[in-house]
Amino acid sequence: MSNTQQQKPGFNCPECGSFIQTNIELILSGKIYCSSCGLELTPQLDQQDKEALKKMDDANQKLRDIKRDQN
């Protein structure tokens, strides 16, 4: 495996086509805005998706804490 390309989380705006970068906090907040045209998007997540995202967020924060402790 040599694919080290970083994938930014996000998707293309259905209105203007520009890339909308998202993060877990934004998705969980339930409101995402396109910075280009101002379109408001509501992520359609069921409870299972939200739980999975929260677990990912927890894991990320733990990793951050570990890194902070080592510095």
Instruction: Tell which residue, 32, 22, 31, 21, has the closest CA to residue 57.
Output: 22
* Contacting residue, 11, 30, 37, 49, with Zn ion by CB under 5 A: 37
Q: From 1-9, 29-37, 49-57, 58-66, give the range in contact with Zn ion by CB under 5 A.
A: 29-37
Long-range contact list for 30-39, CB < 8 A, 24+ apart? 37/13, 39/13, 39/14, 39/15
* Contacting residue, 10, 15, 33, 56, with Zn ion by CB under 5 A: 15
Q: Which residues bind Zn ion (CB under 5 A)?
A: 13, 15-16, 34, 36-37, 39
